[in-house]
Each structure stands twice: as C-alpha cells, then as structure tokens.
Amino acid sequence: KPSPVLLQDTFYPRKGAASSSQRLQVTAQYLSPSLTLSAFQVSLGTLTQGTVSWGLSSLSLSNKACTDSLCAMHMLTFLLPPSPDGPDLSRDTGLNVSVNGQLLGTLTYSYVSASTPTLVSVSPSQMTTSSTGASAVTVFTQNFPSGGCYAVSCQGDIGAMSVLFG
C-alpha cells in the first residue's frame, strides 16, 4: 500500500504578497477517503513568532465513489495568513501539512514584499508576432520605478525595462 503524499505539482499559487492572505490548494493522494477537516493541520516557521498553525478551509474527495486509499485523491484548500514576519520581507517558507499528527509533506511558498516591484498587467494581453514592434504595449507596474526616485534616476529605471515576446 503506497504512503500518502502531497502532489507537489498541484500546489497553487506558489507565491504571493506578504501583506495579504492567500487561498492555497494542493492535492493529496493515498489518504483514507473518510478523513475530515479536523484531521489536518498546516504550519509554518516564522522568524519572529516561532511556529504558526491553522487548519484547512475545505477538503474534497475527487471521486465520491472511492472507498479505499488507493483511489483517493483529496483537494486540500487552506487560507495562508499574511506573513507573520511583516509585509516588507520577501522570503521562502516551508508549509508543513500534517494529517492526524503525522507530517504528510512540506510545500515551499514565497512571500513577496509589499515594496517589491510587480507587474500588474500588460495590454494587450496577447499579440501576433507580425504586430511586434508596430503596436504599442502598455505595462502597468506597482512599486516601479523605485520609490523616492528623481527625474534622472526614474528615467534610468524605466530605460532599463524591456518587453520580451516568446
């Protein structure tokens, strides 16, 4: 009988703003189909507060007809809190997922600082290669150019930006 496992490729999203909560999900395989929300715990180690723990917000079995762990695929959803270490610290953290007190697996999540330059949107969102160079592309950013820049340094930041297609 295979050991229960988190399917790492199903973990989404893998990064988000340190200043806000994020709804995360991952699929687990080979768990008992009779498990309930209360069997699960998620925790992360912080730089300032030790370990922070919480439960799942939802648990769903992919195949409701499954009665054995061999066919069981569970979708685990949980709400990750804003970074306990503050909104201005970017860092990778390990999220430990446990079931009935046993470690099921660790997921790597990246908290992104609220002050990190971020691409918000690009318009148009898609373009044919024949239009490349002939059509304007509008890029909306957050925290870019760098905060507190002056006319000369802002121009330097903007001049260094490029849009690549591919």
Q: How far apart are CA 63 and CA 132, in angstroms?
A: 46
Q: Cβ distance 147 to 52 under 8 Å?
A: no
Cis status, amide bond into 117, omega within 30 of 0: no
Query: What are the residues whose beta carbons fall under 8 Å from the beta carbon of 148, sequence distance 6 or more?
Result: none
> According to the model, what pLDDT value does residue 144 have?
72
Phi, psi of 129 (to 5 degrees): -65, -25
Q: How far apart are CA 83 and CA 111, in angstroms?
A: 7
Query: What are the residues whose beta carbons fall under 8 Å from the beta carbon of 61, sequence distance 6 or more?
Result: 33, 72, 73, 74
Phi, psi of 140 (to 5 degrees): -105, 130
Residue 1 has pLDDT above 90, yes or no: no
Mean pLDDT of 50-79: 92
> According to the model, what pLDDT value does residue 136 have?
81
Across 17-26, 132-141, 145-154, least confident range: 145-154
